[in-house]
Amino acid sequence: MIISETTSFGGRYLRVSHASSTLNCEMTYGLFLPPEASEDNPAPVLYWLSGLTCTDENFMQKAGAHRLAAELGIAILAPDTSPRGEGVPDDPDGSYDLGLGAGFYLNATKPPWSSHYHMFDYVLDELPAVVKAQFPISDVWSIAGHSMGGHGALVLGLRHPYRFRSISAFAPIVNPSACPWGHKAFQNYLGDDEARWHDYDACHLLSHLMEEDEVLPLLIDQGDADQFLEQQLLLPNLDPQLDRLQCSAEIRIQPGYDHSYYFIASFIDDHLRFHADYLFAQNNGAE
């Protein structure tokens, strides 16, 4: 069901709800369609995964991405960050880093979370099929995100490179097994077996790849004034693995920028152009 529709830079920004069989609840997503998107001309898609406490609306309202996406002809799909609604479990202590708004883009295996918190499968399989059945989007996708969403983009892109053309992230949580946010989420959602945690940890996923394995083109922006950089994001932990694999990756440290949407808005055009190079390339990646 379309909740709202707004014209933006000649395109359409929609908020849409649907019943999710993967998450066992009603979900809402945001979709920007560029002006020329049609059944005869389906648009390639940039998947955007947001961070802790966000909904489907934060990126669409704050990042300023519609103008260039309309110009480039890219659709943007922004899901919510967790299941929602009556009966969906939340952190009993009311903290922001577990439960509602904090799905961590994984498939929970530990009760009570396992009944709803299957964001990995939702993002990978169910939501793309739901959106494509109703709107003019193509099978050509890239993926991006911020913070917890940057973690999600990295993990999905590393585990399923055939589904995407490229990956980018703003201030991603790259080694969640080793930081307080990730440790809390993984222990609650997945239990104490840390081997399961590594399936959702970019540093551990990269450590098991060989030079001949495919790693998608990657762009990461990180502000050096980010209050979460040293304790939660752990970006330097990614460097040895990227150096070892010699993959097409660029990590940019941006002086003076913090963790906010001002940071994202300042560099989102770079990320859109980065993805456009791969989304519109012929015979490259996903089919």
pLDDT per position as a tens digit, 170-215: 999 999 999 999 999 999 999 999 999 999 999 999 998 877 778 8
| Mean local confidence (pLDDT), 69-84 | 98
Q: What is the mean pLDDT of the chain?
A: 95
Enclosing domain of residue 102? 2-274
pTM: 0.96
Q: What is the DSSP letter of 223?
A: E
For residues 152-161, average pLDDT: 97
When pLDDT is cut at 50, 70 and 90, the band that residue 282 belongs to is confident
pLDDT digits 0-9 by tens, 18-56 = 999 999 999 999 999 999 999 999 999 999 999 999 999
CB contact burial 9-23 (16+ within 10 A = b; e otherwise): eebbbbbbebebebb
- In-domain check, residue 205: yes
280 in any annotated domain: no
pLDDT one-digit tens code per residue, 238-252: 999 888 887 889 999
Percent of the chain with pLDDT over 70: 98
Would residue 284 count as lying in a domain?
no
pLDDT number for residue 138 = 97
Dihedral (C-alpha) 109, 28, 105, 241: value to the nearest 10 degrees?
170
pLDDT of residue 285: 43
Report if residue 209 sits inside a domain.
Answer: yes
- Has residue 93 got a pLDDT over 60? yes
Instruction: Quote the pLDDT of residue 63.
Output: 98
**pLDDT score, position 246:** 78
The reported pLDDT for the residue numbered 243 is 86
What one-letter code names the amino acid at 31? L
* CA geometry: angle 110, 170, 46, nearest 5 deg: 85
* CATH code of the domain covering residue 127: 3.40.50.1820
Per the domain annotation, does 283 fall within a domain? no
**What mean pLDDT do residues 223-232 have?**
98
pLDDT value for 211: 74
287, part of any domain: no
Q: What confidence tier does 286 reach under pLDDT thresholds 50, 70, 90? A: very low
Q: Which H helix or E strand runs over 27? A: strand 25-33
Active site residues: 147, 226, 259
Tell me which residue of 273, 214, 272 sits closest to 247, measured CA to CA: 214
- Total tally of structural domains belonging to the chain: 1
Q: Is residue 102 part of a domain?
A: yes
Say if 150 falls within a structural domain: yes
Residue 8 confidence (pLDDT):
98
